[in-house]
Amino acid sequence: MSTIKAAVQNYRKTVLNLIELAAYFCCICTLMGFFSGSVLLSDLFCHFRVQYLCILALFVVPSIVQKRWIVVAVLSAGIVANFCEIAPLYFPAKRIAEPVTKTLTVVDINFNSRNTNFKLLKSLVETSGADVICWQEFSPAADAWASKNLSEYAYSKRVPGNDNFGIAMFSKLPVTVFRVKELSDIPIKSIVATVQVGGKPIQVICTHTYPPVGVAAQHTRDLQLAHLGVFIKASGVPTILCGDLNATSWSGAFRDLLKDSGLKDSRQGLGIQPSWPDGFGPMMIPIDHVLVDMKMQVISREIGASVQSDHRPVIVNLAF
């Protein structure tokens, strides 16, 4: 019996040591995330704040039971650090005192260039009542489908691509001008439209940044976000920016975009609302965004049903 008891104790100790190592790893990742954009690949560490918080909250329990107070202190510091990054998204946004005279529903969707389940997309369009659709990964197959099935959107700009950077915008409301712009160091196209909402011009931008999977790729994404911020600020027009930004709100480049553009995150007060990768539940993170002018009210914002893409759609109802 003593041999069995010793084996159980050794097994238990090994498990606790592994849990402790995993928890320390989460703490290191938490710390690295605060240096987003300034340390090699550290941007990849900043996007999983919710996951770090949940893992650390779970793993601190065995340390409390074992009364390993130094470990508890370290893990608790990690919990607090991640909580302080997440909590502001639940603080209510400021309400605009001006009366609401116009409303606009925007749907942003990265449909995945290999996805051909357009029936689900059609259902999304119909149920959302979208006035404007911003579509990333717009493929030639999507272009052929849209020309036959989105006739109610009288205004459109379509730039299909055989890679993941085709892009399109559709509008039921009058559009006085469409422009296609390249805002980075590689030819990734964004669409800029002037949409007339109740006679008022609103600038709507649909964009898709390069995924930050390496140093050069992160530079490309950050450059595009920086150029977007400068462009929006200089335009002097109320703006809505939609797209797969390949960045969460904890990325330094995303925070710089908000500061430089003067826009606000439509998620403010509504929480995390993760959108990618669809089907991975607890590992999903919020990289699909709708940023809006400070004077616009977010009536509702939700993550739509799956359209069998790796991204979920974002549906935002605005008033101004």
CA-wise closest residue to 89 among 241, 250, 304, 290: 250
CA distance 109 to 163: 16
Question: What is the average per-residue pLDDT within 102-126?
Answer: 94
Give the rounded percent of residues in the chain with a pLDDT score beyond 90. 76
**Which tens digits make up the pLDDT trace of 222-266?**
999 999 999 999 999 999 999 999 999 999 999 999 999 999 999
pLDDT of residue 11: 66
pLDDT band at 213 (very low <50, low <70, confident <90, very high): confident
Which of residues 238 and 35 earns the better pLDDT score? 238
Question: What is the average per-residue pLDDT within 170-176?
Answer: 97
Average pLDDT, the chain: 92
Question: What is the average per-residue pLDDT within 108-116?
Answer: 94
Contacts of residue 81, Cβ cutoff 8 Å, sequence gap at least 6: 30, 31, 34
Which of residues 27 and 6 earns the better pLDDT score? 27
Q: What is the DSSP letter of 209?
A: P
CA-wise closest residue to 242 among 259, 256, 228, 227: 228
pLDDT of residue 199: 86
Residue 10's Cβ-side half-sphere holds a number of Cα atoms within 13 Å equal to 6
Which of residues 40 and 233 earns the better pLDDT score? 233
Spatial contact of 132 and 169, defined as CB atoms under 8 Å apart: yes
Spatial contact of 229 and 256, defined as CB atoms under 8 Å apart: yes
pLDDT of residue 5: 67
pLDDT of residue 288: 98
pLDDT of residue 12: 67
pLDDT of residue 67: 87
pLDDT of residue 94: 77
Q: What is the chain's length?
A: 320
Q: Is 60 exceeded by the pLDDT of residue 1?
A: no
CA distance 205 to 230: 13
